Amino acid sequence: MKDLISLHDLSSEEIKELLELGLKLKNELKHGIPHPVLKGKTLGMIFTKSSTRTRVSFEVGMTQLGGYPLFLSSNDIQLGRGETIHDTAKVLERYLDGIMIRTYAHSDVLELAEEADIPVINALTDLLHPCQVLADLMTAYEHKGKLEGLKLAYIGDGNNMAHSLMYGCAKVGMDCAIAAPKGYECDAEVIANAKNDFKMSGSTLVLTDNPAEAIMNADIVYTDTWVSMGQEAEKAERQKIFMPYQVNKELFSKAKNDAVFMHCLPAYRGFEVTEDVIDGPQSVIFDEAENRLHAQKAVMATLMG
């Protein structure tokens, strides 16, 4: 495992090991036990999109591991002015011990990982968001005491979150149901890859356009913004099309009684989710946000240690 680009690339065992290490690092942090396993190492963090959680959790995480996080906005580095990914990779690998990148085209991250001899971590592309799902699996485990056999229902856009959740569920043996409106379904190649992983783990994948069908019997109800970064021009149209997919009290009540509500954040109350659900007693959104820190520390320690 040189890079973290997609959960599909990892074995079930590798994912379990990352989650276990994340929980161990979380426990050590809570008890004031230092773990400077990346002392003297530097992580370059390339952002061509906005971020609150990802930037802060990687910067703090790298610091807690004894290393140095270097924020590289695409507005400031030559990549944003047309320098090639190849040259950027070849230069950065001479200075850094790892690269984290958040950008639009997934192919750019694949190219960076191919060209750079140092680990590359995908911190969100238009296609995938694996770091978020590692944190989500960790959160599900903490709240439910297991992963295998649980059912996750994702209601909304067939986007980067839906894709990575599908991969994550398949790898850990969780059932997954995704309800997305026609025309906004998940990527066909991701579905095909995930179906193979589901076959291997024995859990199931349901793809539907009916939110009530997807949410039935769910242990975890997940949604994400209807307007991802880069889709701002489609905002009005999307808000109209997705309204029947809003996770409100009525829809949420069709899940299991003890279901938890999850959202990667940032959330838009009154659109993909109502206040009574996201701010209600079954919401675990801030646990997920916190676990970004612990899960990503496990990723950095594993890839860069």
- Which stretches of the chain bind ligand NVA, using CB under 6 A? 124, 159-161, 224-225, 228-229, 264
- DSSP β-bridge partners for residue 75: none
| 129 in active site | yes
Decide which of ligand CP, ligand NVA, none touches 164; Cβ closer than 5 to 8 Å per partner kind.
Answer: none
Decide which of ligand CP, ligand NVA, none touches 52; Cβ closer than 5 to 8 Å per partner kind.
Answer: ligand CP
* Closest separation in Å from C-beta 149 to ligand CP: 26
* Closest separation in Å from C-beta 164 to ligand CP: 11
Residues 6+ apart with CB under 8 A from 27: none
Which residue has its beta carbon closest to ligand NVA?
228
| Residue 103 contacts ligand CP per CB under 6 A | no
Decide which of ligand NVA, ligand CP, none touches 225; Cβ closer than 5 to 8 Å per partner kind.
Answer: ligand NVA
| 53 in active site | no
Give the x/- contact pattern for ligand CP in 108-137, rule: CB under 6 A.
----------------x-------x-----
| 131 in active site | no
Choose the stretch contacting ligand CP; rule: CB under 6 A; options: 49-57, 62-70, 93-101, 167-175. 49-57
Q: Which is nearer to ligand CP, 159 or 203 (CB)?
A: 159
Give the x/- contact pattern for ligand CP in 253-282, rule: CB under 6 A.
-----------xxx----------------
User: Is 99 within 8 Å of 44 (Cβ atoms)?
Assistant: yes
CA dihedral 179, 268, 124, 183 (to 10 degrees): 40
Report the relative pairing of strands 220-223 and 260-263 from DSSP bridges. parallel
Q: Which is nearer to ligand CP, 179 or 264 (CB)?
A: 264
CA distance 190 to 177: 14
Output the six-digit token pair for 59. 């910067």
Report which residue type is found at 193: N
| Residue 239 contacts ligand CP per CB under 6 A | no
Neighbours of 175 (CB within 10 A): 22
Q: Which of 54, 203, 283, 291 binds ligand CP (CB under 6 A)?
A: 54
Long-range contacts of 183-186 (CB under 8 A, 24+ apart): 183/241, 184/157, 184/158, 184/241, 184/242, 185/158, 185/209, 186/158, 186/162
| 287 in active site | no
Q: Which of 8, 55, 102, 106 is catalytic?
A: 102
| Residue 46 contacts ligand CP per CB under 6 A | no
Q: Which of 97, 224, 238, 294 is catalytic?
A: 224
CA distance 178 to 76: 39
Residues 6+ apart with CB under 8 A from 106: 125, 126, 127, 128
Decide which of ligand CP, ligand NVA, none touches 161; Cβ closer than 5 to 8 Å per partner kind.
Answer: ligand NVA
- DSSP β-bridge partners for residue 44: 70, 99
Q: Which of 106, 175, 264, 294 is catalytic?
A: 264
Residues 6+ apart with CB under 8 A from 304: 38, 41, 43, 67, 97, 98, 119
Interface ranges with ligand CP (CB under 6 A): 51-54, 124, 132, 264-266
* Residue numbers annotated as active site: 102, 129, 132, 224, 264, 292
